[in-house]
Amino acid sequence: MSELTLGGYMAKHERAAAFGGSDGQAYSVAIYVDDEPDLRGRYGAALLFVRWSPGGDQPVGHVESELLAWGRSGAEAEERLRALSLYDVKAALDEAIARAPSEW
């Protein structure tokens, strides 16, 4: 898997990918997969972006993408998210920030 994908980056660097958000804040990303399938038997997967304090020493919030991938198992849904390019992950972060309440 290419280092330019989320899964490839995480495997090569053995850590979560990090991004600067459109709001000027620092974020790291994790994969979230539904515990149970939907009515069609599909597991959904989304990205969870943890926002870090200016010093980077503690989390101070988060935003989530909408469901971006589905699979017949949680592992299949997760693998599909891992195949996303880092550019697509950054776009999902900026979309999540745009949808977030303005009071943060």
Instruction: Tell me if residue 75 falls in helix, strand or coil.
Output: helix
Which residues lie across from 51 on neighbouring strands? 27, 61
pTM: 0.91
User: Distance between CA atoms of 69 and 78, rounded to whole angstroms?
Assistant: 8
- Closest to 74 measured CA to CA, from 82, 64, 62: 82
For the chain, 104 residues long, give each residue's pLDDT as a single digit of tens. Answer: 788 999 999 999 999 999 999 999 999 999 999 999 999 999 999 999 999 999 989 999 999 999 999 999 999 999 999 999 999 999 999 999 999 886 55
Spatial separation of the C-alpha atoms in residues 59 and 94, rounded to whole Å = 18
